[in-house]
Each structure stands twice: as structure tokens, then as C-alpha cells.
């Protein structure tokens, strides 16, 4: 048998591998920015057949230092990020299809999230993260990633401590302040977060690794992972589930 003609041959050699479990997982990626690009690239390499991605934004030149699926031309003509992702995946692996939804995170309901086996949070703001957290909690495993220059963070949420358990009161107030009473996002200039392709790949890699482990074993890692690329150090931080948390105070 010609092992080299099976694109998944080398991963199938990993102990405990089950390609069917990976292939059939229905995966949702929230955000088609830096982390979203990397996460989707790896899901497609792994052979995940059905991927849904949600983003409302379009491609700009400043995305190109870390978004592997976008092109200069797409930035020039302001292609929607979800359309750019769908296009790129077609060329990467014909086993996989991506459905791109041009929507804001806040438009997604709890019913929508329940369609999926696993959710990736690839977001750049706390308000959107808290929306995903509250809608997935207890139903769908959710891996939330974030980066800031040399640093990054991954938190896995399912039935353990959630994002809101860990958010300080001050952060929460700031997140809410981004919205007016009508729920419309206020327009103001926010400082842009420093971003490197290296940290993006590392954090997205940890997120996808948590998906692989969950798909193969059903196990989750309930510690928050902090990565410091300058000190070359990774720390784990265990958070306790808070019984005062709004997301799961009744269960």
C-alpha cells in the first residue's frame, strides 16, 4: 500500500488517533482574524470537513503580517474576511468546506451555538468573548485564545470555571462600557494591540491541540495557559468556578 498517497497518513500514526472523530467534528470559529486564520488552516490540514466561521469585517493590509489565508489583492479590494477564508480553503483541501457568516458575534443565539461540537474563540475584545462564553457554557466546549505581542493566553471552558468567573470587575465594567443602552457599539478609537505571527501560531496551535485532545479523548484542560514568548515561559493557572458568576449561578 502506498502510504504517501494518503494525506492524513502521518497523523494517523499518532497513538490513539481516530481520523473519523476529527473529520466529523462540527467546528465553529468565531473571528477570522489572526488566530482564526491559523486555527482554520490547522483544522483544514487535519481534515475537519465542516467548519463554520463568523466575522463581520473585511481584509486590510495591516492584517497581512499574521493572517496566512489573506492576500494583498483581497486587502486592496476590501474582501470580506469570511469570503477570503472560504476562497483560501478551497485551494488547501477539497475534503473541507467552510461556511462563512458575515455577522457580528452578538447576533448569534444560544440555539445557533448548539449546532456545533466545538467552538474556537478567536476574538480581540472581551464583550464578544463574554457573549460566546455565556451562550456555549455547559453545552459546547469553547477554547478562547488571545494574544498581545510576545504574550498569549488560552482558556478552555465547558462545565468548569468560565470566562466570566475569571474576569475582574473592572474588566467587566470596561467591556460593558463599549456598548450604549441600545446595544449599539460605540465608535471610538481604540489602541491597536501589538500582534506577531509567531505568538499567533503558538496560541492557535495550543487551541487546536485542545480540540484534538477533546475530539480523541473527551478530556479537557481546565487550567488557563499563559505564554510569555520573551521569557520563553508557559504557566498554568487553575481557576475555581465562582458561585456568584452570572453565567451558571443556577447550575
How many residues form the binding site for Zn ion (CB under 5 A)? 5
Hey, what's the cell of 16? 490513539
Looking at 53, 123, 140, 245, which residue binds Zn ion (CB under 5 A)? Answer: 245
Q: Within 10 Å of residue 10's Cβ, how many Cβ atoms?
A: 10
Cβ-based burial of 164 (10 A; exposed 0-12, middle 13-18, buried ≥19): buried
d(CA 127, CA 227) in angstroms, rounded, equals 22
Tell whether residue 108 is a contact of Zn ion (CB under 5 A). no
Q: Which is nearer to Zn ion, 18 or 246 (CB)?
A: 246
Contact string 11-50 vs Zn ion (x = CB under 5 A): ----------------------------------------
Provide, rounded to whole angstroms, the least separation between the CB of residue 244 and Zn ion. Answer: 9
User: What is the CA 80 to chain-centroid distance, rounded?
Assistant: 18
d(CA 133, CA 221): 16
Q: Is 144 in the site for Zn ion (CB under 5 A)?
A: no
Query: Can you say whether residue 75 is alpha, beta or left, with left for phi > 0 and alpha for psi between -120 and 50 degrees?
Result: alpha
Is the Cβ of residue 51 or residue 165 nearer to Zn ion in the bound state? 165
Shortest separation between residue 247's beta carbon and Zn ion, angstroms:
4
Region from 5-13, 27-35, 159-167, 199-207 binding Zn ion, contact rule CB under 5 A = 159-167
The rounded distance, in Å, linking the Cα atoms of 32 and 116 is 17
Region class of 104: left (phi > 0), else alpha (psi between -120 and 50), else beta: beta
Q: Which of 165, 196, 206, 215 binds Zn ion (CB under 5 A)?
A: 165
Pick between residue 172 and residue 226 the one whose CB is nearest to Zn ion: 172
- Candidates 3-11, 103-111, 119-127, 163-171 — which segment interacts with Zn ion by CB under 5 A? 163-171
157 binds Zn ion (CB under 5 A): no
Identified binder of Zn ion from the candidate list 119, 162, 196, 202, rule CB under 5 A = 162
247 forms part of the interface with Zn ion (CB under 5 A): yes
> Strands, DSSP E only, in the chain?
26-30, 50-54, 97-101, 118-121, 142-148, 151-157, 223-228, 233-238
Q: Contact positions toward Zn ion, by CB under 5 A? A: 162, 164-165, 245, 247
Amino acid at each position: 500500500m502506498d502510504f504517501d498517497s494518503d494525506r492524513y497518513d502521518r497523523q494517523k500514526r499518532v497513538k490513539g488517533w481516530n481520523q473519523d472523530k476529527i473529520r466529523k467534528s462540527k467546528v465553529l470559529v468565531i473571528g477570522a482574524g489572526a488566530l482564526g486564520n491559523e486555527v482554520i488552516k490547522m483544522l483544514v490540514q487535519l481534515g475537519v470537513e465542516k467548519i463554520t466561521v463568523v466575522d463581520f469585517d473585511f481584509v486590510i493590509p495591516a492584517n497581512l503580517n499574521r493572517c496566512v489565508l489573506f492576500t494583498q489583492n483581497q486587502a486592496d479590494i476590501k474582501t470580506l474576511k469570511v469570503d477570503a477564508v472560504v476562497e483560501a480553503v478551497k485551494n488547501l483541501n477539497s475534503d473541507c468546506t467552510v461556511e462563512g457568516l458575515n455577522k457580528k458575534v452578538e447576533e448569534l443565539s444560544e440555539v445557533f451555538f448548539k449546532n456545533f461540537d466545538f467552538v474556537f474563540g478567536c476574538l480581540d475584545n472581551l464583550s464578544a468573548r463574554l457573549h460566546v462564553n455565556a451562550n456555549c457554557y455547559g453545552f459546547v466546549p469553547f477554547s478562547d485564545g488571545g494574544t498581545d505581542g510576545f504574550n498569549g493566553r488560552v482558556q478552555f471552558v465547558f462545565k468548569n470555571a468560565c470566562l466570566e468567573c475569571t474576569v475582574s470587575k473592572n474588566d467587566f465594567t470596561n467591556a460593558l462600557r463599549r456598548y450604549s443602552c441600545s446595544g449599539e457599539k460605540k465608535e471610538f478609537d481604540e489602541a491597536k494591540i501589538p500582534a506577531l505571527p509567531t505568538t499567533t501560531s503558538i496560541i492557535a496551535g495550543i487551541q487546536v491541540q485542545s480540540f484534538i485532545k477533546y475530539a480523541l479523548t473527551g478530556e479537557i484542560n481546565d487550567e488557563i495557559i499563559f505564554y510569555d514568548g520573551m521569557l520563553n515561559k508557559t504557566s498554568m493557572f487553575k481557576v475555581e468556578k465562582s458561585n456568584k458568576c452570572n453565567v451558571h449561578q443556577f447550575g
